[in-house]
Amino acid sequence: MTEADRDLMYRELNVIINCAGSTEFGNTLDSAVKVNVSGPLKLLKLAEDCKNFLGMCHVSTCYAVADRDGVIDEKLQDTVPINWKQTYDQINKMDKRDLEHYEKNLLGNFPNTYTFTKRMAEHLLHLMN
């Protein structure tokens, strides 16, 4: 991207629609966090520098509530007692060996890294909003 293109983007970008992500259920935790959490957070950070930015739409998934049963309202689910910011920071500081060792503990009732990181992204984007 040229500097002129970058300047144009910062002047003209006003809406971000994010529907990107890794849907691999068996992805490693660090890889899933990088794509499903850090990616959307970086988009929101980019938006802070855009002069005419109006809003961001983040497309999540029904799998973000895979730790729950029954009828689930379509709203941000906050029933899991997790400090998502602290957990995100902790995961980003861990080496690959520790991530593999503690993955099951970190995931708790989530069946895989995909569902866990999609819920994490929802909460961290909400905190930054």
Rounded Cα distance, 79 and 8, in Å: 42
Q: Taking the domains of the chain in order of start, what are their residue ranges?
A: 3-128
Q: pLDDT, tens digit, for every residue of 72-108?
A: 888 887 766 789 999 999 999 999 999 999 999 999 9
What interhelical angle do 39-48 and 113-128 show, nearest 10? 20
Q: pLDDT, tens digit, for every residue of 16-52?
A: 999 999 999 899 999 999 999 999 999 999 999 999 9
